[in-house]
Structure 1
């Protein structure tokens, strides 16, 4: 199977940074001259109600054999993202509640750099028109946040993540998905918080079963001791998120999604002309639970999601699985700073 082409553009300007010193022990994050950092571009698309179970079912997804043999979603579909988004957002496939006027896809530009202590990220994407959501009050699912930008990182311990990216955390029984349990049926389940009335993202390793036919795995949790061991040994997906209301959140997905104010993450964003520009700074190594230790010379599977136009839940745009390389191979190559 042929690898889809991926756009890389090296900027011609010279690279310059300024360093601010904070205390005697550690240098503060550098002020990066982003003009000198190469840019990678991918297409984010609307995923509808496609889940990991959907991907693994031949009647839903014709590429299941290739996936099970080891092919990445990116290898098969990187040139089809716009077409897939158009089919899904229209309701023609895997979408029971289409939103009229919602855009099917849009480009995301990613720049990455790193030094001895931090990973620096810059995201840029076009702002889009507003489309009223008929089933949301005021036509907006999240009126407090016009935009949310998220990134997941796999440390290599979640089985299907290297091939599917964040899809391995997206399931048919999660909120607003086809087999989501009714709020009244949730009850109290050890290991996850169901007070919000829905099931969040999780990785299959956290369950005692992963049934792709019944698609009712949400409450089949492993014992807490097993979940603790997974967290300790890297069996999770790290999650970084910035919200346009100003919050920077840092957490992980294991038995459920866990997000808290970032202690080793700073992020900011704003509109510049017709584009949103968001930057993040994340420590390479962190003592915070649920973080992947990033090292030069290694590549990591990552996935991106943007909730634009006051979207929430599954009504976002996402990337396929991608590789972020720190002095290593990847669709996104992080530039080493002096």
Structure 2
């Protein structure tokens, strides 16, 4: 081959490498990899942190905890039943991220421990996120959970919920529950988290909060809950409707519900005194809407947490105060609190019609009753506290899909630090954790993007190198 032909071929190859590198870089950059993917249960909120103000006080009998956080509008509804096309249909089923029709209630939750779960003080809610948990990309199937002899057979669970790592023999296997004998012994030893769970629709209107715990599952305390189902599956219709004689309407209108025209002063929830048995011949029209839950007075240990007044939304903020007896008399469900006691807490909120893991969470903090702590509960002598001044501001963050098994795996650079029991706050800030949650959700995409960047960079380097060599060769041959 003649020298001029070889030079021409080399120049063409150099140009091809340059153009290919630029094209590859253009195709794989600038679009980003962080994007919603409902099929993989991925939906990233636009805001990754939310401020929460917390205040606490106690007297000889009760503790009061006040929460205040921002929300663009109040989420007053959960799921509802809507009359469409001559039949009743359910609206408000859970979706990744915000429910499109706004049919998920706002919530605030507090996990509380007295030292019975030592990992909680170091890592907070991260320890409750086990293998196969609901709404993760790799969530366990409903059929598999139902087939589990204990979770599905005895507890009638349909999903993997929050749990404590010690309730499994293998943290990488959601199904590896310890024996019922061991689980019972753990509970008696205090190996569970108390969970205060305020719900804007399913408890707040009657001045109550859900009272739960986290052990082998996230479950309710013993007794009857504040919310029951208003759906008659056999007849495919509601069980109750509004009492028009008492509240002037037998149903709400779907258009009003979606548009947010129903406020806290409206009668929007079903409860004794404003509800009657459902009448299928009541002249239902398109868009008639009834809540899918009805409210009732809870009983037993589930009735321990009440709302001081009512949780209220005003001026873009929720303000909720919960109260509970220091000693509820239910030591297998609740953490018993004492004057000058020191406890561990972590907080979470749901807002903007989100459910499941699409919440904002805090790192663990200390709560002291009349003693130094991150949050100090002040002692008072009257029946109820009078709040003054701002509370302790806590920055909540979106946690992404970071599970306890992941944090112990080779994929987590800090796994060794966890093995050495170093607390999370000694190594990470909230600012870092909010980004880490995103990185974990998109780890494969980021790795693939890095490889494309590497190859496009190599192509550009080779192209430039060839071009320079050809230019030098031509200059020497001139």
TM-score (norm: length of structure 2): 0.46
> Paired residue for 1:287?
329
> Paired residue for 2:424?
none
| Cα separation, 2, equivalents of 1:138 and 1:98 | 8
Cα distance, 1:252–1:109 mapped onto 2, change above 3 Å? same
Cα distance, 1:173–1:110 mapped onto 2, change above 3 Å? same
Cα distance, 1:237–1:101 mapped onto 2, change above 3 Å? closer
> Paired residue for 2:81?
none
More off after superposition, 174-183 vs 252-261: 174-183
Q: Which has the higher contact order (CA 8 A, sep 6+)?
A: 2
> Paired residue for 1:150?
109
1:182 aligned onto 2:141: yes
> Paired residue for 2:219?
258
| Cα separation, 2, equivalents of 1:329 and 1:158 | 21
Output aligned runs, 1:267-278, within 5 Å. Answer: 267=307, 268-278=310-320
> Paired residue for 2:362?
319
Task: Give the Å deviation of 1:309.
Answer: 0.9
Q: Any stretches of 5+ residues in structure 1 without a counterpart? A: 1-89
> Paired residue for 1:30?
none
Secondary structure of 1:292's aligned partner: coil
| Cα separation, 1, equivalents of 2:96 and 2:45 | 17
Q: Any stretches of 5+ residues in structure 2 without a counterpart? A: 1-33, 75-91, 204-208, 226-301, 382-478
Q: Deviations over 1:11-69 (max 9, x none)?
A: xxxxxxxxxxxxxxxxxxxxxxxxxxxxxxxxxxxxxxxxxxxxxxxxxxxxxxxxxxx
Task: Give the Å deviation of 1:157.
Answer: 1.4
Output aligned runs, 1:199-278, within 5 Å. Answer: 199-210=160-171, 215-216=172-173, 218-247=174-203, 248-260=209-221, 261=225, 262-267=302-307, 268-278=310-320
> Paired residue for 1:333?
376
Cα pair 1:150 1:304 within 8 Å, conserved: yes
> Paired residue for 2:391?
none
> Paired residue for 1:9?
none
Q: Deviations over 1:261-283 (max 9, x none)?
A: 33211023110211111110011
Cα distance, 1:184–1:108 mapped onto 2, change above 3 Å? same
Computing the radius of gyration from Cα coordinates, the structure with the larger value is 2
| Cα separation, 2, equivalents of 1:186 and 1:246 | 26
Secondary structure of 1:109's aligned partner: strand
Cα pair 2:41 2:135 within 8 Å, conserved: no
| Cα separation, 1, equivalents of 2:58 and 2:214 | 24
Secondary structure of 2:303's aligned partner: coil
| Cα separation, 2, equivalents of 1:114 and 1:125 | 22
| Cα separation, 2, equivalents of 1:221 and 1:337 | 44
| Cα separation, 1, equivalents of 2:200 and 2:142 | 29
Task: Give the Å deviation of 1:137.
Answer: 9.6
Output aligned runs, 1:1-338, within 5 Å. Answer: 97-99=41-43, 102-128=46-72, 136=95, 140=99, 143-193=102-152, 195=156, 197-210=158-171, 215-216=172-173, 218-247=174-203, 248-260=209-221, 261=225, 262-267=302-307, 268-288=310-330, 289-338=332-381
| Cα separation, 2, equivalents of 1:142 and 1:198 | 24
> Paired residue for 1:49?
none
| Cα separation, 2, equivalents of 1:127 and 1:306 | 10
> Paired residue for 1:31?
none
Cα pair 1:191 1:255 within 8 Å, conserved: no
Cα distance, 1:271–1:299 mapped onto 2, change above 3 Å? same
Secondary structure of 1:160's aligned partner: helix
